Structure 1
Amino acid sequence: MASLPKEPPEDARKQSFWMPGNYVRTVHRTERSFQACNDIVACFMERAKVEKQYAQQLSQWSSKWKSIVDSRPLYGSLMRAWQCFFTSTERLSALHSSISQSLTSEEGVRVKTWQKETFPKKIFCGFRESYDTNTSFSRAQKPWSKKLMKLEKVRVAYHKVCQREQAALEKEKQANENSEMSQEKKQKMTEAREKATEEKEMARDKYEKILEDVSTYTPRYMEEMEAIFEESQEEERKRISFLKQVFLSIHRHLDVTNNESVKAVYSELHQTLMAIDEQDDLKWWKNNHGPGMPTDWPKIEEWVPPVKKLKRKKRDQKGKESRPCAFLSLFSAKGPEQFADIELTMN
């Protein structure tokens, strides 16, 4: 999960996993894997936002041009084909909106939930896996590191006596070549060289013994370190396997080329476009706006006398005759006896 180095390190031996402290790269891999999960979620949440914005832009484009096209002078199958682009776009807008929703509510939540389960933390110690792995590596490496430090000390000591021996050899050689130097001094040079050689042999014997001790312990050290490393590898394998499935799932959401709904949209659009028939459109125009339109050609029209209308006065008089007299209505309502009283009053 952690990025691989672009170039090999300058000193491979010092960078080796087996050298003291170099296991920390494996320990830190857990933390980096956790951060990688955060980056993956952030990455595809941003992609979900892009999908949502694209869906909105498709819908806005469709609404804008649909109203414009409806007012344009196209007609027939050509108009239907143009309008089909907008219905197809609305369906695609809904599809990309669903992709955005899937990336957010499915994949994002899925990874976050998995993170909580896979990366438990230890109070004041960071991730539990990192803490346990670091502790195990440290315990396994501690005895070997002590032996290695001891070996390094005797190595340095051995190299120093080698240098002293080399210096003694050069002085002895120069003394032997100097004819003016006394034999006594030459003898001292020889004795100094012999002493340096003896010290070198003793240092080498000690060096070899310590090295043998380190070499004897190395297989056990390697076995313990590899066992811990393989445990870490297994955890990383699970993480890689999970994220592989996440990536495949995201791919299924984003791969519109294999989406049956998209195929149906473009198939229907293609059928509508192929249904454009210039002959039918021209025929429709001819029948609705051209020579095919029905018309009444000029011909003799017989005169028909207009219907006479009654004059207003006659209509009013006729209306009055048809209405009962108010006096008679009153007589009818009050009766003859009451009518006599009214007549007396009038006189």
Structure 2
Amino acid sequence: MINDAHSQRIEINARMKLTVMEQIIPKLRNLKNYTKKRGLHELSKEFHRCQRPWAKSLKKVNKIKIIYHEACKITHESAVFLETGRMPSGHGVSEMTPEQREKIQIRHDEYAAEVDRVRTVYEATIYELNFMKHEYLEGMQAAFDKCVAIERERMTVFQECIELFAHAIDSGRNTQYAKVWQSVDMTLLNYTVDQDLEYFSATIGPAMPYKWPAFEEWENRPSQQYDD
């Protein structure tokens, strides 16, 4: 009985080695050559080429948004100072002198004009960015589809290799591996390559939720109170 078990184990190991050497390794080697030939580095560069103009315009939008919001904030604060006749000082809050009021009025008028000017620029940059959206999406979709084709091939080969390995062990005749490969068989039975590809698309690809840049009005969030 011990000899039978030993012989069976030798047979299993020999079958596994043969499968690995003659079927699995060639598949993996071909896969490596396939992915190398398809130029993963070039695909990465293609993504960057698609993103570069969009990222440049988005950076411009974010920069002008900060300028617009800062101008709105200063205009609002100076209007409050003029209305109340009080402003922060080194000793807390104090009444404004005529000279201070004049300076605050000038500052208010300058930034009120700046708000109107920058708002126009901000809206224009948003429009320009949205105008690029269709081309940006098309380019990213094309690059993503090329990656999906490579990933589908890679995952299919790995799935085939696991199935070959499971068949080589032949868990039905070897109780030592039966539970392990029963779980593997169940996983393979329930698995499809499309599941992972759909997940990739939904989390980092074209199917993920979008939040496109839009005009954001400044909101007053007072951090200080100027009342006694």
- Normalising by structure 1, report the TM-score: 0.43
2:82–2:104 contact (8 Å) kept in structure 1 = yes
| Structure 1 position 203, deviation (Å) | 0.8
Residue 90 to residue 146, structure 1, CA distance change in 2 (3 Å): closer
Residue 137 to residue 97, structure 1, CA distance change in 2 (3 Å): closer
| Structure 1 position 173, deviation (Å) | 2.9
Residue 203 to residue 180, structure 1, CA distance change in 2 (3 Å): closer
Q: Deviations over 1:214-261 (max 9, x none)?
A: 0121122012111111110111011101111111111111233157xx
- Seq. identity, %: 19
User: In the alignment, is residue 172 of structure 1 matched against residue 88 of structure 2?
Assistant: no
SS at match of 2:85: helix
Q: Which residue number in structure 2 is paired with residue 133 of structure 1?
A: 43
User: What is the distance in 1 between the residues matched to 2:30 and 2:72?
Assistant: 60
1:164–1:196 contact (8 Å) kept in structure 2 = yes
The residue type paired with residue 152 of structure 2 is R
| Structure 1 position 154, deviation (Å) | 1.3
Structure 1 or 2, whichever has the larger Rg, is 1
User: In the alignment, is residue 105 of structure 1 matched against residue 15 of structure 2?
Assistant: no
User: What is the distance in 1 between the residues matched to 2:96 and 2:58?
Assistant: 49
The residue type paired with residue 234 of structure 1 is A
Residue 92 to residue 200, structure 1, CA distance change in 2 (3 Å): same
- What runs of 5+ residues in structure 2 fail to find an aligned partner? 88-93, 175-228
Q: Which residue number in structure 2 is paired with residue 220 of structure 1?
A: 135
Alignment of 1:54-133 (within 5 A): 85-86=1-2, 88-120=4-36, 129-133=39-43
Which of 1 and 2 has higher RCO (CA within 8 Å, sep 6+)? 2
Q: Which residue number in structure 2 is paired with residue 310 of structure 1?
A: none
Alignment of 1:283-298 (within 5 A): none
Q: Which residue number in structure 1 is paired with residue 169 of structure 2?
A: 254
User: What is the distance in 1 between the residues matched to 2:8 and 2:51?
Assistant: 60
SS at match of 1:131: helix
The residue type paired with residue 134 of structure 2 is P
Residue 179 to residue 102, structure 1, CA distance change in 2 (3 Å): closer
| Structure 1 position 209, deviation (Å) | 0.8
SS at match of 1:120: helix
| Structure 1 position 100, deviation (Å) | 3.5
Q: Deviations over 1:273-301 (max 9, x none)?
A: xxxxxxxxxxxxxxxxxxxxxxxxxxxxx
| Structure 1 position 134, deviation (Å) | 1.9
How many residue pairs are counted as aligned between the two chains?
Answer: 168
2:31–2:154 contact (8 Å) kept in structure 1 = no
Q: Which residue number in structure 2 is paired with residue 148 of structure 1?
A: 58
User: What is the distance in 1 between the residues matched to 2:107 and 2:10?
Assistant: 94
- What runs of 5+ residues in structure 1 fail to find an aligned partner? 1-84, 122-127, 260-347
Alignment of 1:1-347 (within 5 A): 85-86=1-2, 88-120=4-36, 129-175=39-85, 181-182=97-98, 186=101, 189-258=104-173
Q: Which residue number in structure 2 is paired with residue 49 of structure 1?
A: none
User: What is the distance in 1 between the residues matched to 2:73 and 2:28?
Assistant: 62
User: What is the distance in 2 between the residues matched to 1:237 and 1:112?
Assistant: 14
2:71–2:115 contact (8 Å) kept in structure 1 = yes
The residue type paired with residue 122 of structure 2 is Y
1:168–1:196 contact (8 Å) kept in structure 2 = no
Could you say what the CA RMSD is over the residues aligned between the two structures, in angstroms?
2.8
User: What is the distance in 1 between the residues matched to 2:124 and 2:113?
Assistant: 17
Q: Deviations over 1:164-211 (max 9, x none)?
A: 2133123213427988854x7646534432332221121111101101
User: What is the distance in 1 between the residues matched to 2:52 and 2:144?
Assistant: 16
The residue type paired with residue 239 of structure 1 is R
